[in-house]
Amino acid sequence: MAETLVFRAIKSTERDGASKTKPLKYIRRRIGQHSEGFHESGKKVSKVNLEVSPHRAVCAVRLMRIELGGAFADLLNEKGKGSGSNEMGYVERTLGFRTRPLDDRDLRLVTDIVGGAIRWRRYLDHLIASLCHSQKMFEGMEPLLLQILRIGFYEIVKLDMPPYAVVDENVRLAKVALRPGAGNMVNGILRKWFCLRCDSFCIAGFLEGDDRAKARALATIYSHPVWMVRRWIKQLGQEVAEKFMTWNNSDPHFSIRANIVKDFTRADLVEQLTMLKVPHKLSPHLDDFVRISTGMQIVIQAGLLKQGLCSVQDESAGLVVSILDPQPGETIIDCCAAPGGKTLFMASRLRGQGVISAIDINEGRLRILKESAILHEVDGVINIIHADLREFAGNDPVKYDKVLLDAPCSGLGVLSKRADLRWNRKLEDIEVLKKLQDELLDAASMLVKPGGVLVYSTCSIDPEENEERVEAFLAKHSEFNIDPVDRYVTRDFVMKRGFYFSNPVVHSLDGSFAARLVRSSNDKFSLPNQ
């Protein structure tokens, strides 16, 4: 799974690795024919407008790319492709003009506003729709105009920016990017909100209705899909569900892992963070990890990631590697490896002795893993395999000491970092994923030696993807038994059956799950000559 941030800028979810991101011309077409930067022929006219706020122009285009173009929000927030001077190129190609260059403050605002506008989209849309003349007016609103309004409402309601300045800046953007009438609409709606404030838009009263009405109200208050809210209330109760949603709407916290293979220790990382004046804390769970809540752009700009001295990886993912417990000299297979965060961490634990076979169906993401392995100087112990695990397992005669299946999942445990994921997931996705998870578990089990270890993990908090999948697997595979994880993580991460679970609300980490299963050493099957 993609728990490590890497430098890539397009969404790629096709099984063959092909991009699903829509081209800029599609986004421009959805904006409408009013963009003043393009002739009817579609030929770009280069313009510079120094009156338009650069961070707002970039925010509007990013939000368009995420909602209409399929780009990943977390990837666009990285200092690589899709930020800095590159971002202004996107603005010019999409809107037809450039503004002044982005400075560091602008970049921070872009990150805050884009992430916040996505998280709070349902709530912001409720406010906007309440101020429109009719629901039809809201539903027929041009995509770019809607994004500009979302930016304005987020800046006023959540960032507490001066309302009049926000109104003036967003009106100017709408007039230049669209037309004068669009600016007038932005002016009218934002000023109407400022005059009325929130008294006329209170949602709390709906909490007194039936369960469906209550779920809809909570979904609006906390800006989550209704199906997700109803599911969590049923599974967790309303109080815990609200805590989960509050966590998902909070600013994401990050952990950084020092790359000891390059003789860059946690102490070295702490020294660098101190020099860069980035606030940090040591991880209480993992020796190589440091926590930061702000300053990620500073770390990225300092080049620590590009040099392979460290990587961004949540501690919950690192704890899964601790549960697998890779040791020098072992043969390990990572069954859904790309883009390779756990693979790289496991490789660093081998200390140059042993082999990790990294298999994935997505060839493009495997290329990222290969490049990262070279950068982190662990490519000598990583063997890249492009294949579908379900086909590969039946044809591979090799059996491994340890097998990690970090299965494709709903990602419901990482919604704090993946702000856009909540809107891309549907309830029916979980049923499809459960079937895939069962198939992959069956395939992964075929690769385990007698006496070997199989670790199944997800970045989901949903029991149907976690313990229920393991219980269903054990019902069919009597040759496997649960190996409690309390030898590898502290007791507060251990569930009743000996599984691992990181709870975002309790542990302030991404939500994740892992089960450590051991194959009986007496299990009879014919081992190939190795």
Quote the pTM value: 0.87
Cα-based distances in Å from 294 to 277, 278, 369 = 10, 7, 27
Cα-based distances in Å from 471 to 380, 383, 474 = 37, 31, 5
In angstroms, rounded to a whole number, what is the distance separating the alpha carbons of residues 19 and 14? 7
Query: What's the number of CA atoms in the CB half-sphere (13 Å) around residue 456?
Result: 30
Of 345, 342, 386, 348, the C-alpha closest to 367 is: 386
Question: With contact defined as beta carbons under 8 Å apart, do 225 and 425 qualify?
Answer: yes
In angstroms, rounded to a whole number, what is the distance separating the alpha carbons of residues 466 and 464? 6
| Per-residue model confidence (pLDDT) at position 307 | 96
Question: With contact defined as beta carbons under 8 Å apart, do 458 and 438 qualify?
Answer: no
Of 297, 302, 316, the C-alpha closest to 272 is: 302
- Residues forming the annotated binding site? 336-342, 360, 388, 406
- Residues forming the annotated binding site for S-adenosyl-L-methionine? 336-342, 360, 388, 406
| Per-residue model confidence (pLDDT) at position 108 | 86
- DSSP per position, 447-513: TEEEEEEEEEEES---TTTTHHHHHHHHHH-TTEEE--GGGTS-GGGB-TTS-EEE-HHHHSS--EE
CA dihedral for 271, 274, 276, 282, sign (positive or negative): positive
3-class secondary-structure state, position 519: strand
| Per-residue model confidence (pLDDT) at position 242 | 96
Of 28, 99, 86, 23, the C-alpha closest to 57 is: 99
Question: With contact defined as beta carbons under 8 Å apart, do 320 and 344 qualify?
Answer: no
Active site residue 59: no
CB atoms near residue 110 (< 10 Å): 24
Q: Which residues pair with 360 in a beta bridge?
A: 386
3-class secondary-structure state, position 225: coil
Which tokens in the block code for residue 73?
């929000």
Torsion region of 42: left, alpha or beta (phi above 0 gives left; psi -120 to 50 gives alpha): left
| Per-residue model confidence (pLDDT) at position 211 | 84
Torsion region of 340: left, alpha or beta (phi above 0 gives left; psi -120 to 50 gives alpha): left
In angstroms, rounded to a whole number, what is the distance separating the alpha carbons of residues 75 and 497? 36
DSSP letter assigned to residue 79: S
Q: Can you give the C-alpha Rg of the chain in angstroms?
A: 24
In angstroms, rounded to a whole number, what is the distance separating the alpha carbons of residues 504 and 510? 5
Question: With contact defined as beta carbons under 8 Å apart, do 329 and 353 qualify?
Answer: yes
Residues 6+ apart with CB under 8 A from 229: 215, 218, 219, 222, 241, 245
Of 270, 268, 527, the C-alpha closest to 399 is: 527
In angstroms, rounded to a whole number, what is the distance separating the alpha carbons of residues 58 and 217? 32
3-class secondary-structure state, position 171: helix
Residue of 59, 132, 335, 459 with catalytic role: 459
In angstroms, rounded to a whole number, what is the distance separating the alpha carbons of residues 35 and 224? 32
Beta strand 254-258 pairing with 310-312? antiparallel
Instruction: Give the position of tokens 């909570």.
Output: 218
* Average pLDDT per 10 consecutive residues for the chain, totaling 530 residues: 31 32 55 44 64 94 87 52 66 90 89 94 95 92 96 95 95 96 96 72 63 91 96 95 96 94 97 97 97 91 95 97 98 96 97 96 95 97 97 91 98 94 95 98 97 98 98 97 97 96 96 97 53
